[in-house]
Amino acid sequence: MSKKITAAITAVGGYVPEDKLTNFDLEKMVDTNDEWIRTRTGIEERRILRGEGKATSDMVVPAVKELCRKRGIDPSEIECMIVATVTPDMVFPATANIACDKLGAKNAWGFDVSAACSGFLYSLTLGASLIESGRYKKVVVVGADKMSAIIDYSDRTTCIIFGDGAGALLLEPNEEGLGVQDSILRSDGSGCQYLHMKAGGSLRPATVETVMAKQHYIYQDGQPVFKFAVKGMADVSAELLERNQLTGDDIAWLVPHQANLRIIDATANRMGLSREKVMINIQKYGNTTAGTLPLCLWDWEKQLKKGDNIVLAAFGGGFTWGATLLKWAYDPI
């Protein structure tokens, strides 16, 4: 009997732009201060993609190139690329298509997934299913957002939070039971009112009025989002442990969405995990939306060991949320 195929992560790539926007820079732009931002969110600086004609795909490309270099493959070997993003280069075609063209990934088909901060988890589950089906051998899953493109830098409630960045993973079949083990994914459209972009879709197409009313920027009512996020992320993470008969002691790492240090702490507490087991890079990148989870794995790759149990957890606009359990597939190179 043939063995069950699982989807193992076999390489990680990442990209963050060089330009930094610090809390002190923001102090000069809006009525805020470093202390407020650090204590309320944990953020110290974020990266911003600057330059005429630069878009999300320009962060996807170096992230995927790095992953191909590390794995020793050519982009033409990629069979499918899924890009999680809410800041696509254009409404259509998909950023995945544009990035594949720039990469020379001639044999890949691809598409974008719009699930805000949970986009990467949704995409990882989709990518893993393609591998598990036995039909695909090399699937690239990317989380990438140029949040600076949709931020109103005169709105202190949102401009302090978000940054730009991209992370990418390669998924390949595994017969040792390594890779994606289980996922719990949820969504609740009634949360739309708290976190959305008012115009630019078919409901309210772009007009001079929508631009004048600043309706093409992120709108967030922070407090209710905070409350739902704490509960949502902690609940699914605890449920995932329970249904896999695991406790915090069995988990090597928690990879939480980097939206707010207080939400991260609440999730870790609920899972019975100490801070040393939690990946936190919010201080240097802020919230890169779909980019946060793969950028954590990119930053921590050298500390991950074959067989490590890793829980990824996210919460975001939609509302969307979820958690995924992984068994890491390789030792540090």
Cis peptide leading into residue 93 (ω within 30°): yes
Residue number, 71 or 156, with CB nearest to ligand UT7? 156
Phi, psi dihedral angles at 40 (to 5 degrees): -85, -25
Sign of CA dihedral 223, 290, 110, 52: positive
Cβ atoms 122, 113 nearer than 8 A: yes
Q: What is the CA radius of gyration of the chain?
A: 19
Residue number, 293 or 297, with CB nearest to ligand UT7? 293
The answer to whether 117 is a known catalytic residue is: yes
The answer to whether 296 is a known catalytic residue is: no
Which residues form the interface with ligand UT7 (CB under 6 A)? 32, 36, 40-41, 117, 156-157, 160, 222-223, 225-226, 229, 259-260, 263, 287, 315-316
* In the complex, minimum distance from the CB of residue 60 to ligand UT7, in angstroms, rounded to a whole number: 20
DSSP 116: G
Give which of 255, 43, 17 is closest to 148, Cα–Cα: 17
The answer to whether 216 is a known catalytic residue is: no
Residue number, 298 or 315, with CB nearest to ligand UT7? 315
Beta-carbon neighbour count of residue 258 at 10 Å? 31
Whose CB is nearest to ligand UT7?
Answer: 222
Give which of 106, 103, 233 is closest to 168, Cα–Cα: 103
Residue number, 65 or 231, with CB nearest to ligand UT7? 231
* In the complex, minimum distance from the CB of residue 44 to ligand UT7, in angstroms, rounded to a whole number: 14
Tokens representing 87 are 């800041």
* In the complex, minimum distance from the CB of residue 111 to ligand UT7, in angstroms, rounded to a whole number: 22
Residue number, 217 or 226, with CB nearest to ligand UT7? 226
Residue number, 93 or 222, with CB nearest to ligand UT7? 222
* In the complex, minimum distance from the CB of residue 240 to ligand UT7, in angstroms, rounded to a whole number: 19
Query: Which amino acid appears at position 318 of this protein?
Result: G
Residue number, 71 or 198, with CB nearest to ligand UT7? 198
Beta-carbon neighbour count of residue 307 at 10 Å? 14
Active-site position among 117, 260, 281, 296: 117
Q: Residues of 178-189 as b/e, b for ≥16 C-beta within 10 angstroms? A: bbbbebbbbeee
Cβ atoms 88, 99 nearer than 8 A: no
* In the complex, minimum distance from the CB of residue 42 to ligand UT7, in angstroms, rounded to a whole number: 9
Cβ atoms 313, 253 nearer than 8 A: no
- Give the strand pairing for 6-15 and 164-174: antiparallel
Active-site position among 23, 257, 260, 296: 257
**Cα–Cα distance for residue pair 122/120, rounded to 1 Å:** 5
* In the complex, minimum distance from the CB of residue 178 to ligand UT7, in angstroms, rounded to a whole number: 29
* In the complex, minimum distance from the CB of residue 330 to ligand UT7, in angstroms, rounded to a whole number: 30
Distances (CA, A) of 91 to 34, 37, 225, 243: 35, 32, 26, 39
Active site residues: 117, 257, 287
